Structure 1
Amino acid sequence: MRRVVVTGAGTVNPLGDVSGTFRAMEAGTSAIGPLDLPDLDRLSIRIGARASVPDLDLGAWADPFATMAVAAARQAVAGADLPPGTGVILGSAGGGLQTVDAAYRAVYAERRDRVHPFTVPRLMASAAPSLVARDLGLTGPSFTVASACASATHAIGLAFQMIRGGADVMLAGGSEAMICFGGIKAWEGLRVLSPTACRPFSKGRDGMVMGEGAAVFLLEERAHALARGARILAEITGFAMSAEAGDIVAPSAPAAEAVIRAALDDARLTPGDIGHVNAHGTGTQANDRCEAEALARVFGPIPVTATKSLHGHLIGASGAVELLGVLLGLQGTIPATAGFLGPDPAAPVDLVTTARKVSPRAVVKTSFAFGGLNAVLVLAPG
């Protein structure tokens, strides 16, 4: 079977670039703080984790979610001579939501009769891979995966499968920029946002916190990477995805357990081969309770980290930014989880609250999305 490795990584997220993200994850430094948005007084939730949007010359086409994707992709491919047929698969749940928010404000609040002529190209969820492909001159299959909070993990898993199936090189990851008045207001309606902090698997947790950003990875067939002398950061050994076909927002512990076991089977590993789990860990009551139950059923006691406590919930880009935490773990440091106030008997896990130095072993990355759309990756040291 063709083996798939990660040879490049790039990111724009609230914690910084790749090296900045590694430092913050090791130190347990959270980027969550007060927001500065128009009409902030009309919002109940006023915290989030913002990223600094790069100043790139992309013309008038790019919403912030696409600009961050291009910047992350440039970092991921630095120094690599990519075949023109390289493809790009990115995850995004909201696409150009800031463009949508600005257009609605112009039409409804300011009663303008026109919006920007590039509104549609900016808001399309496919804008990010299109602009990445254009920026890097890539002509392979390029598209967006939209599966809510599992979007980026699905995108990386599909790229992994395409390389297994015959492609040599793919770019994969996710991007999201939902922190705007309309974005926060929409999530407020679900009553899942915390006004204080993201505290995964902790007693006293009261919801998730919005984040934004992008992360993109260069995936290659292993022999192709070795032939060009590339540095291998990790190997993707397994992937599984599933639909729960149940409640649109309530997660299912048995379904989570099943998809984790399927990913392990795909990787030809046993639960005992896994060193730790990089969890979905949103900080909501239902998600953490169900995920803790699923992890206990599969692994028993195992170290668990949840980096949304540091960079917020990047929705469609979460799995990509969290994969940076997996890479750090495979280098021998399990990232810290912030905000812990003590164990919750309803969601018991061995939570890593201070970064742990470990011998690198295979890591499981979980993503469980609204709609019951689940995706799990297994990675091993390169």
Structure 2
Amino acid sequence: MNTRNRTTRAALALSLAVLVAATGCSSKAKSGDGGDTRADGVRTGPGVTADTIRLGALTDLTGPYATLGKSNVQAQQLWADQVNARGGICHRKIEIVVKDHGYDVQKAVTAYADIASDVAALPQVIGSSVVAALLEDIERDQMLTFPQAWSASLLGKDAVQVLGTTYDVDTLAAVDYLTRTKGIRKGDKIGHVYFEGDYGDNALEGSTWAAEQAGLTVVGRRIQATDTDLSAQVAALAKAGVKAVLISAGPAQTASLVGVAAASGLKIPVVTNAPGYAPQLLKTQAAPALVAMLSIVSAAPSVNSDLPGVKAMVAAYKKKYPDSSVDSGVLSGYNAARLMGEDLKKACGAGSLTRAEVIKAHRSQTHLDTGLGTPQNFSDPSRPASLSTYVLKPDTKALGGTVGVEDAHRAPGVEEYLEQRS
């Protein structure tokens, strides 16, 4: 910008300031900390105006987690519509700005740059690798962010909140479940097929620790997100003599592993982390094997749960989106939005919707229960918000394609594990 343009803009800004002061028509006045104080006395920051709170969603609508992305987006829009029908939050309507990154990290970085100055927080970011790439910017911008990712590597950041359990906490529960209910005993081998990267590596940390405590041996097999035929991995695990398999990958990999194992006669228990299952798998040829062999460890209950909050959400979602299936992504997306809403309400009550104050409000929540699962404790950024894991299983007749097997509970040794990890 040249000197003349800067001078002209400065003069114009000064003239406008004088005009506003003279007429007394200003709806806001500058506060001392860089935020704006509105006519209602609430200090605001980026993404918040006198009548709107804008929230961002960096999601996957065209990549490998497109089903999850669609469910999240629709669920959070449902929440926003419900909130707006009741008058909004802090007398402001909620607007959700959606950006599709297709599970491409570079596209996600660009999308974040596009919306960072114009949203108050991010109640949805899909992908551990995506969040990892944005961490520096998120922390710098004080952008409260709820990943749809559960890697322990995302802990310890004041602005980033992993909701519920982390992958390793869930695989501790998976090993415990196998030893309690599937006849896995000391001296046995269990396989663990996992994605390269934060997701798989963190899940392996949990299974390895739990296996050591139980006297088991983990036979690990690392795969890429592009690996969709797991015949070689199944053959290797069968040769190793495993008695059960954990898988921390995507739905396509879970279907391949279970289908190939069943077809080859390796009919053993398989347990997946929540991102490794989608109800659409029950429409594939692998469905009978999935129903017979697969269990799911999850921070959230089944959408088939009897929890009143879940039932109310399901009814509202089916009414708004009658042509869409109700899956775990709906529940996780809606719960994230509800939790964000509670943070915004608390910040408003303290008189400020600046990003820093929204984070402060969030970190003050020590037992936040939306009625959609387990209560959350957000006070310590270095710890998972919950340590309780649900066990689910596929069911072709159930809403959302799953039913509950075990209610949320803490696996033995989880506190000891977290102490050692820290």
**TM (normalized to structure 2)?**
0.26
* More helix as a share of residues: 2
**TM (normalized to structure 1)?**
0.28
